[in-house]
Amino acid sequence: MSTATAADERISGSSKISKVLKRPESGAMVAAIVIFLWFALTTDAFATSGGSSTWLLGSSTIGIMAVAVALLMIGGEFDLSAGAMTGFTGLLVGILCTEYGLNIWVAILVALVLALAIGALNGFLVMKTGLPSFIVTLGTFFVLQGVNLAGTKALIGQVAIQGMAKVPYYDQPRTLFGSAFTWGENGSVYASVFWWVGVTAIATWILMRTRVGNWIFALGGAQQSARQVGVPVFKAKIGLFMTTAAAGWLVGMLTLFRTSTVQANTGVGQEFIYIICAVVGGCLLTGGYGSAIGATFGALIYGMVNQGIVYSGWDSNWLKTFLGAMLLGAVLLNEWVRRRAEQSR
Amino acid sequence: MTEQDSKNMDTLVEVRKIGKRYGNIIALSDVSTTVRAGEVTCVLGDNGAGKSTFIKILAGSHAHTDGELLVDGQERHFSSPREALDAGIATVYQDLAVVPLMPVWRNFFLGSEATKGKGPLKRLDVDFMKKTTKTELAAMGIDLRDVDQPIGTLSGGERQCVAIARAVYFGARVLILDEPTAALGVKQSGVVLKYIAKARDRGLGVVFITHNPHHAHPVGDRFMLLRRGKSLGDFAKADLPMDELVSMMAGGAELEALAHELERSMGADSAVVSELKEDLK
């Protein structure tokens, strides 16, 4: 960070550590380390290359969405349609290619444009009506869910995409979205892990080091104040909704090209997982505070526990209980951190 | 150069018989005063006296319907706050337009962030912004340990100061402060008055809106009193001692009547009555 800013003699050296601990993501980081160590020590498979690549893959798609959702939450809004969007874009590309023979790259582009349009519509409705984004995106969530289920059945008579691998040029986007490196004896690191790292890095850069990032914090912190000092509130908010939609498209593509199929109900129920990951990562439900890296740690925790429970031989339904407890703990911790941050030192 | 000439040169804003009508409702009429560089012009009045209408005209939120508004000797009609800002007139509203959870330096530059680099590498110039925030606040007499602390951790007076320093840094020559001491305790009000004096010493013209003569008198150079949308006059400090200002503010005759009435019901030795009488002397 900055070394050029002259250090004030009234700040003692130890505050560097407390500064790190005050970052929104530090709670999730510590929890992730603890959980990793726990499963690494208690199970045999968890810390092997094979085990690690499984939970990394599981974390990656959740993580991409959680990061985008975190940006939106810092900006003071929710997007419940984010999960259904991953299914919608995957299904759309699958149907356009297998049923209508559209060029695969064109189909991918069409899906992106449509996703961005739906995101913009979400943002436009929220900003124009002044309704809570919770309600507006709940609406688009149900619309998308219905379209995914009924539309898919009506168009291809099935509930999943079939024959994707036979589509011409399938290998090109597959290299980009669905390929994997072998790692160690039995591990393989999928493209989505690299996308995840990339998305996290870019989101962090935007949030911490660009004007837009400054605006995002201000939007969620005090929208009226932001407007008074000339922040383009309307554009920035719509941009955030389009970002989560674009992330939904990316995850849709990652799913489609890794497995060569998408189910009609893909992504439904995931929207709350993204929000939980963002909150566990230090995002305030009320906006104005949080981090992209935190959301990534949140997703990592989710992925590790999801897999670790299996390796431990426990009933996998305990995951839900764990998630709920984690969420409650995180909310309490965030509230405490926020109060400390607002108190004078 | 005579003293009069130099004063005219320093006049930043002058209003002559300015007024505002909303349809057949006269919100403000016949108000005249001047704002000079390095001086504090206090606008005093009770609730509903027309203070906010007056600010809105100066800040560009509402255009005036009567009289003249001169900025640097040129007649102007502001149709938006942006125009007023471009003319160097900045307004610090009561809510201060700050985001409590954001660090002081991010708040200071919010909406006008300094950047370096080009294209996708265009990024915030964090060091410059932190340094500037620290020096600008130091110039206002506020010495922050850490510009990274959330602005919500500052006291009300200090936050006011950041808002003032921000307006000054971004080119304000005339600063309109809308009741900056209204929500503050005695000590914090003192802090804000200190910053007002500081801004004045830096050569700004300050318009200080308040309903408290005890806050206005120590820092003011010129007092303009409003009541029921009309000006009670525009006075230089030398012509208006403190007690006269107080009794004008309260409406001397009305207060005297009130004192008599209270004396009858509460007794002559009650604290409220003796305090009122003290003020009226």
What is the DSSP annotation of A141-160? HHHHHHIIIIIHHHHHSSSB
Q: Which residue of B has its CA nearest to A217?
A: B102
- Whether B48 is in a domain gets the answer yes
- B262 and B171 share one domain: no
- B118 and B228 share one domain: yes
- B234 and B256 share one domain: no
Instruction: Show residues of chain A in contact with B106, CB under 8 Å.
Output: 214, 217
Q: Which residue of A has its CA nearest to B118?
A: A210
Instruction: Show residues of chain B in contact with A209, CB under 8 Å.
Output: 123-124, 126
Band of residue B233 on the pLDDT scale cut at 50, 70, 90: confident
Band of residue B6 on the pLDDT scale cut at 50, 70, 90: very low
Band of residue B82 on the pLDDT scale cut at 50, 70, 90: confident
Tell which wins on pLDDT, B56 or A94: A94
Spatial distance between the Cα atoms of A26 and A294, rounded to a whole number of angstroms = 7
pLDDT of residue B253: 57
Whole-number mean pLDDT of chain A?
Answer: 91
Is any Cβ of chain B less than 8 angstroms from the Cβ of A177? Answer: no
3-state secondary structure of B205: strand
Separation in Å, CA of A325 to nearest CA in chain B: 27
List B residues 69-108 in contact with A (Cβ-Cβ < 8 A). Answer: 93, 95-102, 106
Domain count within chain B: 2
- Whether B278 is in a domain gets the answer yes
Annotate A271-296 with three-state secondary structure: HHHHHHHHHHCCCCCCCCCCCHHHHH
Which of A209-218, B67-76, B152-161 is modeled with the greatest confidence?
A209-218
Band of residue A51 on the pLDDT scale cut at 50, 70, 90: very high
- B79 and B116 share one domain: yes
- Whether B78 is in a domain gets the answer yes
Poorest-pLDDT segment among A247-251, A328-332, B4-8, B128-132 = B4-8
- Chain pair A-B, CB pairs under 8 angstroms: 99
- B92 and B231 share one domain: yes
Q: Which long-range contacts (CB under 8 A, 24 or more apart) does B233-239 make?
A: B234/B32, B234/B33, B234/B34
- B230 and B261 share one domain: no
- B270 and B231 share one domain: no
- B227 and B257 share one domain: no
**Would you say residue B252 has pLDDT above 70?**
no
Retrieve residue A329's tokens.
């703990």
3-state secondary structure of B17: strand
- Whether B245 is in a domain gets the answer no
List B residues 25-54 in contact with A (Cβ-Cβ < 8 A). Answer: none
pLDDT of residue A71: 97
Mean pLDDT to the nearest integer, B46-60: 86
Domain range for B262: 251-281
Instruction: Show residues of chain B in contact with A345, CB under 8 Å.
Output: 145-146, 149, 153
Instruction: Show residues of chain B in contact with A4, CB under 8 Å.
Output: 127, 131
Instruction: Show residues of chain A in contact with B95, CB under 8 Å.
Output: 224-225
Poorest-pLDDT segment among A40-44, A294-298, B209-213, B262-266 = B262-266
**Would you say residue B184 has pLDDT above 90?**
no
Spatial distance between the Cα atoms of A37 and A41, rounded to a whole number of angstroms = 6
- Whether B163 is in a domain gets the answer yes
Retrieve residue A335's tokens.
């509230």
- Whether B246 is in a domain gets the answer no
- B110 and B24 share one domain: yes
Band of residue A15 on the pLDDT scale cut at 50, 70, 90: low
What CATH number does the domain containing B161 carry?
A: 3.40.50.300
Separation in Å, CA of B154 to nearest CA in chain A: 6
Contact between residue A254 and residue A178 where contact means Cβ atoms under 8 Å apart: yes
Mean pLDDT to the nearest integer, B258-269: 73
- B119 and B146 share one domain: yes
Band of residue A61 on the pLDDT scale cut at 50, 70, 90: very high
Band of residue A41 on the pLDDT scale cut at 50, 70, 90: very high
Q: Residue for token digits 């007690």?
A: B243
Mean pLDDT to the nearest integer, A86-109: 96
- Whether B179 is in a domain gets the answer yes
The residue type found at B255 is L
* Pairing, β B222-227 against β B11-22: unpaired
Retrieve residue A148's tokens.
């995914």
ipTM: 0.83
Poorest-pLDDT segment among A247-256, B26-35, B156-165, B262-271 = B262-271
Spatial distance between the Cα atoms of B127 and B135, rounded to a whole number of angstroms = 12
Q: What fold is seen in the domain A28-158+189-332? A: ABC transporter involved in vitamin B12 uptake, BtuC (1.10.3470)
- Whether B86 is in a domain gets the answer yes
CA angle A255, A261, A264 (to 5 degrees): 90
Is any Cβ of chain B less than 8 angstroms from the Cβ of A10? Answer: yes
